[in-house]
Amino acid sequence: MKKKKSKFREKLSTVFELPPEATAGATRVIILNNTDLFLENHKGIKEYTLTKVRVHTEHQEIVIKGKDMELKNMGAENIIITGEIGSIEYEP
């Protein structure tokens, strides 16, 4: 079944000229300056404080550290975090 899904995603990516990560469910992190972070394809938030946000993804956890951090938006697959972002760590 996974092989069929993989083939379908590859075909979808080719037909619509999308990058492979757009259909593969890969986690994407976009940072604007050090004040806004957009995270795509998460599996939930494990920890949230003003200085740390720990997000569970398909293959790892992403830890965002900083000051005055705030969850501006959280959808089923996307998160927007604002504040003074100091570091991003990837943990298996």
- The verdict on domain 25-91 having CATH code 2.60.40.2000 is yes
| Domain spans of the chain, in order of start | 25-91
Measured CA to CA, the distance from residue 6 to residue 23 in angstroms comes to 9
C-beta separation of 80 from 38 below 8 A: yes
C-beta separation of 53 from 47 below 8 A: yes
What pTM, to 2 d.p., does this model score? 0.74
H-run or E-run covering 4: helix 2-15
What's the pLDDT tens digit per position in 52-91?
999 999 889 999 999 999 999 999 889 999 999 999 999 9
Q: Which residues of 50-83 are buried (b: 16+ CB within 10 A; e: fewer)?
A: eeebbbebeeebbbbbbeebeeeebeeeebebbb
What's the pLDDT tens digit per position in 18-52?
666 565 678 889 999 999 999 999 999 999 999 99
